[in-house]
Amino acid sequence: MTGTDVAESHSGKSGARRSSAPREVTASGRSAALALTGCLVGVFMQMLDTTIVNIALPDLTRELGASTSEQLFVLSVYTLAFACTLLTAATLGGRLGRRRVFVGSVIAFVVTSMACGLAQNPLELIVARGAQGVSAALMSAQTLALIAALFPKSRHPLVFGVYGAVAGLAAMLGPVIGGVLVTADIAGWGWRTIFFVNLPMGVAACALAWRRLPQLRDRPATRIDLAGVALSSVGLFLLLYPLAVGREMGWPPLLWVLLALAALMLIAFVGVEKRLLRGGGTPLLRLDLFTSRRFALGLVLSLLFFSVFAGFFFTVSITTQFGLGYSALRTGLLALPFAIGGALGSVASPQVVSRIGAARTLALGALLLGVGLACLAVVLRPETAMLSVPAAIAPLVVGGLGTGVFVAPLQTTILADTSPETVGSASGCVPTVQQIGASIGLAVVTVFFFGQVASQAETAVSSARTQLTAELRDSPVEPIFREPVTQRFADCASAQLTSAHPERPAAGCQPGGGDTTGMAATIAAQAGPQLHHATRTVVAHSFVGAFVATLWVLAGACVLIAILSGTLGLRRRPRLGSGYQNRGHTARTPRHR
């Protein structure tokens, strides 16, 4: 550890001492383990809240009366605030002290979580979710640097593996825990319990982390890179906002303008950071990190993997809830085999790394995830309009196993070449890239998925119409009215499935939206059971078919990730006068197993 990092005494007294080596900062075995546990509880909370809200959205929408746009912001504002604050949060931690910022942000996260749970209208919930995202970013940006300081370099593969495993498992368990909490309806709180559950976890994180974590404050205190803060925050917002709301708004020209402005802002940000680094200042993002091939390629892998991960969980959730009509609990429990596989993969990953090396382990994990997704696509049968849970369990376990094997060593690989001077900046960069990857994945996958729903419509509607015609022969509906009933059904089903929102009935086709008296009401009542069955069939057929097509694309992306992971193990011949040598370092080739 260099003289720019300070570990304040754990008693909390003033007079922090300058630390000259990592050995002076690392804590004793038991203290370090407890501090690590506190960090991991914080990681679990912040990652849990990225996915737990999805499962409770229908319930909170009904209670708060949220509009479609308000529902969208409830989901996206957390990620937007999280991603746009991470780089700034890493700098603030170095200036104010990482322990102080971590503990303070845990407290803020709990307070904002309670505010979310107590919200009485959509606006209050959206504001509280945004503040919750900022708190999560302040917490997340300190975690990697704190863990790196708690343990010697030789133990980083293990502890970063545990960190990655906990983060991945939290995201996987979000739907499960959310489904259980919403269904349990503890004390009549319903969906609000998904936020209240953060209170005991936050208290535990503070109790474990306070006084055990090193303070890690930059000395001397450097000026905050205000230009970098402004350019990165605005640039990331202009990038992520269109990705979050694009499909809902139909991608108007304004969103494309915002994306173009985002590119300009981020290019300007890179220019400012380069100039500041050359001038000996302290940039928000140290671009010399990218001279490490493992860091740069590791971020690319992280971006791609979390795109696949977010896209997969979105399509699972929307296919089961809207396509198959599953309850929140049943949808959540469907993620349980994936989470179990993830836990097993995380436990096995360190042993796999010790045998075949990090690069091959990452490739193996990506391939296993791809195999799991491909097998799930094979066992699904869109024409049956149902999901066989027993048949899906094994592919989900395999996919989770691959996720655990991949995520556990990813952080270690990315941070392998960081130094005490750069690990703080890397702590903000790594989760930022993960959030960008998740946002890009959701945007791209939703466009493809709903496009596939529309392409399935003709076949699905034709099949359901034939089935409905046969079923109406045994109904009380008079023969003269059967053809108009089937025609209206086909028109409404086609309009719904080819619309921008195939998860909602088309205009004028809502149940009970027509006449409530007279001949039309009588016919609707007589054909009610058959129409309900036909509607469920056509929607399920289309959504399951789209899900299958999406799974094949995601499996292909996993193969690409595996190929790129394998290149991490390729040795590069150092070139004289380039790379690290130009910066006064000895040129060397990182060793890979």
The pLDDT > 90 percentage for the chain reads 24
pLDDT the model gives residue 8: 39
Q: Say what the pLDDT of residue 195 is.
A: 94
Average pLDDT, the chain: 81
- pLDDT, residue 586, reads 37
pLDDT given at position 483: 85
Q: Given its phi and psi angles, is residue 511 left (phi above 0), alpha (psi -120 to 50 degrees) or beta?
A: beta
Range from 28-42, 98-112, 474-488, 509-523 carrying the lowest mean pLDDT = 509-523
| Residue 14: per-residue pLDDT | 38
Residue 200 pLDDT class (50, 70, 90 cuts)? very high
Contact between residue 216 and residue 97 where contact means Cβ atoms under 8 Å apart:
yes
Model pLDDT, residue 575: 39
Say which residue the tokens 């790594």 belong to.
430
Instruction: Return the structure tokens found at 526.
Output: 């007589």
335 touches 172 (CB < 8 A): yes
Which residue's structure tokens are 């990165």? 232
* Token pair belonging to 436: 């960008």
pLDDT value of position 197: 92
The per-residue pLDDT for 21 is 35
Question: What residues pair up with 6 in beta bridges, in sequence order?
Answer: 18, 217
Give, in words, the CATH class of 1-222: mainly alpha
Q: Residue 352 belongs to what H/E stretch? A: helix 336-356
State residue 313's pLDDT score. Answer: 84
Q: What is the mean pLDDT of residues 461-466?
A: 85
Residue of 334, 357, 358, 336 lying closest to 407 (CA atoms): 358
Q: For position 102, what pLDDT does the model report?
A: 92
pLDDT of residue 119: 92
Residue 158 backbone zone (phi > 0: left; psi -120 to 50: alpha; other: beta): alpha
pLDDT band at 363 (very low <50, low <70, confident <90, very high): very high
156-195 confidence digits (pLDDT tens): 777 877 887 788 778 878 888 888 888 888 888 889 999 9
> Peptide bond before 220: cis, by omega within 30 degrees of 0?
yes
Residue 537 has a pLDDT of 85
More confident call, 110 vs 422: 110
434 pLDDT more than 60: yes
pTM recorded for the entire structure = 0.79
Output 220 or 239, whichever has higher pLDDT: 239
Amino acid occupying residue 126: I
* Max mean pLDDT range (34-48, 55-69, 511-525): 34-48
pLDDT at 472: 83
Q: Which of 405, 397, 307 is nearest to 365 (CA)?
A: 405
Of 58, 66, 536, residue with least CA distance to 328: 58
User: At residue 6, does pLDDT exceed 70?
Assistant: no
DSSP assignment letter at 217: E
Looking at the predicted structure, is the pLDDT value of residue 569 above 80? no
Question: What would the mean pLDDT of 509-535 be, rounded to a whole number?
Answer: 71
Closest C-alpha to 592, from 193, 371, 292: 292
pLDDT band at residue 592 using 50, 70 and 90 as cut-offs = very low
Domain boundaries, the chain: 1-222, 453-505+517-543
* pLDDT category of residue 308 using cuts at 50, 70 and 90: very high
Q: Give the integer Cα–Cα distance in Å for 296 and 593.
A: 19
pLDDT in tens, 254-275: 999 999 999 999 999 999 988 8
| Predicted local distance difference test score (pLDDT) of residue 439 | 81
The band of 219, judged by pLDDT with boundaries at 50, 70 and 90, is low
The two structure tokens encoding residue 35:
């501090």
- H helix runs in 97-192, sequence order: 98-118, 122-150, 156-184
With contact defined as beta carbons under 8 Å apart, do 258 and 238 qualify?
yes
Percent of the chain residues past pLDDT 70, beyond the cut = 87
Q: What tokens appear for 420 in the block?
A: 């005490």
pLDDT at 435: 82
pLDDT in tens, 100-131: 899 999 999 999 999 999 999 989 999 999 99
- Does 551 have pLDDT greater than 90? yes
Q: Is the pLDDT of residue 579 over 50?
A: no
Q: What is the pLDDT of residues 364-419, one digit of tens each?
A: 999 999 999 999 999 988 877 777 888 889 999 999 999 989 987 888 888 877 77
Instruction: Give mean pLDDT, residues 448-453.
Output: 88
Handedness of CA 417, 423, 427, 428 (dihedral sign): negative
Which residues are CB-contacts of 169 (< 8 A; sequence separation ≥ 6)?
A: 44, 339, 342, 343, 346, 404
Q: Is the pLDDT of residue 516 over 60?
A: no
> Does position 45 have pLDDT exceeding 80, yes or no?
yes
